[in-house]
Amino acid sequence: DEPVSWTAALVSGGDWLSVSPESAVGDGTITVSYSANTSGGARAGKIRVSAPGATGSPADVTVSQKKKPVCGAGAKRVKTKLAERIVPADATLSLTGTAAVRLTADAPVDGARIWAVLEAGDVRQEGGRWRPVDPEDGRDGWVVFTPSAPLPLGAEATLTVGGVTVAGAALGPVSKRFRVAERQAEVPVAGPAWTRDADDVCPLPSLLAVPGSAVYRIGPAGVFDTPVTVRIPVSAAWHANELTAYYYSESPRNAGWYRGRD
């Protein structure tokens, strides 16, 4: 068959997209270039590839770009929510580990009136604190309990929680069982514990960045009551003394980059 002539043109997005080449004959590759998104929201553009007489012509390709991340202390941010599961992620609880049971309500929960009872063998402890998924809503969250004394190894622990809403409606009781072991269960990760993502993370300030720097979005997203270990790949040629890690806090009160402790 004779090579087919084709063209590539922008239907929309011409103020931030460009294509090259705009025309060719036969097989080829189209390169799409874009400028940084400095607008307040996501945007999309459309490219139309036309080859008169060819099956499927014209073909439209949509290019989407995420909104610019909001960076810096004091900036307005989307609400940070707790992960669907907070440690322990399964039914294994360490001798002095933190357990949690989720509570949901139709009205905001009164965090000061949350209660929890943990029973393991002959041990009975009371306490608990409220960790809302969304502090500005308060209808959904976790009752978190940290034992005041070591639990009996091998015992079956039952955490029972309850409380009331700010309107006075009773919540619970809700119970969850755990097996007491020497160590807390590791938090399982659905997929990689890190992803390199340059489009929707706040860039490392130029003062801190050095050649070879990389910014990673850490997963799973959420807040945990005990430390979570995250492993990021580095070149075998790098020495530990040459590495410096920074993390970005998305807390509205403490937004900004901080140097890692380890």
What is the DSSP code string of 169-232?
A: -EEEEEEEEEEEESSPPP---SS-SEEE-SSSSPPPPTTT--TT---EEESS-S--SS------
Confidence of residue 11 (pLDDT cuts 50, 70, 90): very high
185 within 8 A of 176, measured Cβ to Cβ: no
223 within 8 A of 83, measured Cβ to Cβ: yes
What rounded mean pLDDT belongs to the chain? 73
Average pLDDT of span 196-219? 60
Whole-number pLDDT of residue 117: 92
Whole-number pLDDT of residue 112: 92
Whole-number pLDDT of residue 175: 83
Confidence of residue 30 (pLDDT cuts 50, 70, 90): confident
Distance CA 21, CA 6 (A): 10
99 within 8 A of 116, measured Cβ to Cβ: no
Does the pLDDT at position 121 exceed 70? yes
Confidence of residue 115 (pLDDT cuts 50, 70, 90): very high
Structural domains of the chain sorted by starting position, each given as residue range(s) with its CATH number in brackets: 5-65 (no CATH), 92-181 (2.60.40.10), 188-262 (no CATH)
More reliable by pLDDT, 53 or 49: 49
Confidence of residue 188 (pLDDT cuts 50, 70, 90): very low
Does the pLDDT at position 91 exceed 70? no
